[in-house]
A and B are shown apart, each in its own frame.
Chain A
């Protein structure tokens, strides 16, 4: 066990954990966050995605010791039900979810790309989502939502 300090969704947290603990478990078990989910534990599906200094990373294969001073933002960190972020609003407007378990991967992977590169092409978006799964296959609406957000970023 060691003491780890993390900045998550704008707040500083200090936790006592095994430094090898995947970041996902710290977020879920120690900080009671619900956004990032355990999908595969292998970095293959995206359900555990968080933003680390603005990059989309897979928290299930990221040991908490690797975070250091990086700023972590989860799906609940970008907006709330009362005040959703623009990309979340786009998903609401397109009704782009079924079970919703995959949304951290879909929304945060797209957001990381489009915030970095507002001129990203459709192909860029597809590349950014090439390792993200949705088993309900709400793909069509999700892509429409991402396009909607891309337009906002581009404008």
Chain B
């Protein structure tokens, strides 16, 4: 496929279309009307039905989505959604994902937002419902009977007298200009026949037989291979390059340099690798001044910060002073990696006036915009086609490698495939999940109830998602000279508006009141949450449950400390302070599923040596209102070594109406084990010059051969509520539940992640 393709051409193969393309311009016509660095106004108008749905003369349905599948199951769930709303069989639906030439701009596929966006009252769901109603109306006119007397099954409309017509027959030869109808009626959950069913992932046969095309498998005629050469130290800049060092390298096509971006292009991969390692590059020293890792949490506190006051009842200090008990604790969370199993890869074909990028990005339109800025092309002359990479879990190297491929292809005017090395990916490819340090204070009254909660957090930021305007937010963009966004110090002002708890910075147990409106999930009225963001020495970005996981670790461990202090059962103590029914229900369901024994932690009859076991709970209203989860972890702790072995996880989750329970279970199970790996061993490391966790020997991911805990999922299906996200809910509570279980088993509280044996052992030795 070339970039010159128009949407009309692209769709011709699908047969006659439900609606005309009168409103949709081709890429070429739009490109004429816009200057460089076009804004993100998509040429595909989301208000037009044909931007989302086309029904062919053969009755086949093609649907277009801006939310793509990285292995989280969105392809299957969205196909189910279209089949359900259009009343056609699953096999009749073909879903096109994330391609700037053919799909509407739905921003980024992230943050458990795909289900809320496309399964409620907009996007794909509303479009499919509009199409069904439109088809029924056409049939109604043809048969001269009201639509409510028509029945539709598998794309066949039947009137009471037995007259029948298929979608294909209705559409034949006609074009209809329709807009998405915001009041088109959705199929009620109780009538679902395709959605809500445990449909296995539609791509699994191709995956397990090695036939699925990943971006790593894209091969174009005449395609060359690129490798990048990154700086040796953070902050190092390019001084000079000795091209003679590679002049004899077989197959080398070109050394491409743009400011601090260096790469090589060769005919074969191995030649590109050899050239990249032989190329003599003179870099400025850089580095040398990275803050010491062992003092980093203190360093964060000392930096100029941008401050946000999320809630402030104004009386926290007074209430803490009046409290019978005042408790405080500090929690620390390291930088962590997305650590995608495949080092990132992309393919670019940049010609004189246009470019096509085959990219594993979560954000095709923003990537189009970024690539356009890098290449000096109008955005509409750039086409970004999503092709799945390995699971990303956030901002891995996908965007940066797409830029790498674009730059190298522009350098040689031929298609170039770029494969990052493992070291590139881990040191110079991805944007890390942020380190955090979180101080908690609470005051308890004479009955042991919480009367005030004060939370102060520090996290780090540099770059992030590039969006439409900031290609410098990822490494390659910054190497060519675009500035990354970073924080400008600013004092906090009093909170206004409504509580938005998107980062779960506000604990679940406070009322969350701003100007008299209370959006929190809890009952504690005296509350203050102050967040500081400081500049990060490393690029940061969203990693599965960004900040929500870090904050929840601190909140849920502290809640456990409070309940232990008053010798309350951790489940009962949580319920006592919660007000949000849906959160309380998952807590109860998880406790029930785990046969939770009501008693305080730590358990009373515990051994001081040898292997001991315990249980812990944690819960969260993900992003405040985008999913509810509680998790009971049961662990064993080897007190001689400090090694922690989770044995059992019981998860209760409520994400509204469940589109696909099989997919949801898969997300829960994967999220829980990924959370366990991150809690027990994952940490980015560095020395004074550079990142040192650059392989699977220095960044520790639990392998397939690990001892597996059992995972039991309790799904709470709420058919009458909005559809919520399910990708990041479970992982958010794992670290806290494990740390709470360690405390229950041993009486030792570990407040810093990861829970490596040495750290657990130190906490065990510090027990009184």
What residues of chain A have their CB less than 8 Å away from a CB belonging to chain B?
A: 1, 17-18, 20-22, 25, 28-29, 32-42, 44-45, 47, 74-76, 78-81, 84, 88, 91-92, 95-107, 125-143
Contact = CB atoms under 8 A, between A and B. Distances in A.
Contacts of A97: 71, 201, 204, 207-208
B473 interface: no
Interface string B191-210: 00000000011011111111
By CB atoms of chain A within 10 A, which of B204, B339, B671, B702 has the most?
A: B204
B268 interface: yes
B251 to A, nearest CB: 8
Given A75-B210, A98-B670, A99-B388, A38 B201 contact: no
A1 B204 CA distance: 38
Contacts of A99: 70-71, 341, 388-391
B393 interface: yes
B484 to A, nearest CB: 26
A129 B345 CA distance: 25
A1 to B, nearest CB: 8
A8 to B, nearest CB: 12
Interface stretch (B6-14, B299-307, B371-379, B706-714): B706-714
A134 B696 CA distance: 12
A130 B219 CA distance: 32
Nearest to B419: A38
A18 to B, nearest CB: 6
Contacts of B342: 37-39, 47, 101
Given A132-B704, A140-B711, A88 B391 contact: no
A129 B391 CA distance: 20
A126 B345 CA distance: 30
Nearest to A109: B704
Given A95-B666, A98-B391, A103 B208 contact: yes
A21 B203 contact: no
Nearest to B421: A41
Contact of A40 (B674, B695, B704, B711): B695
Interface residues of B, number: 64
Contacts of B566: none
Contacts of B607: none
B705 A131 contact: yes
B704 A101 contact: no
Contacts of B212: 34, 100
A135 B205 contact: no
A21 B72 CA distance: 34
Given A84-B205, A92-B200, A140 B271 contact: no
B271 A18 contact: yes
Given A17-B268, A99-B70, A101-B389, 10 more contacts: A33-B210, A74-B210, A75-B208, A88-B209, A92-B204, A98-B71, A100-B71, A102-B341, A107-B208, A134-B704
A132 B391 contact: no
Contacts of B708: 139-140, 143
Contacts of B389: 99, 101
Contact of A137 (B213, B340, B674): B674
List the 7 shortest-distance A-B pairs measured between CB atoms, nearest first. Answer: A35-B210, A99-B71, A75-B210, A100-B207, A130-B705, A137-B673, A101-B390
A139 B342 CA distance: 17
Contacts of A126: 704-707
A139 B673 contact: yes
A118 to B, nearest CB: 19
B217 interface: yes
A135 B704 CA distance: 10
B695 A140 contact: no
Interface in B79-125: none
A129 B421 contact: no
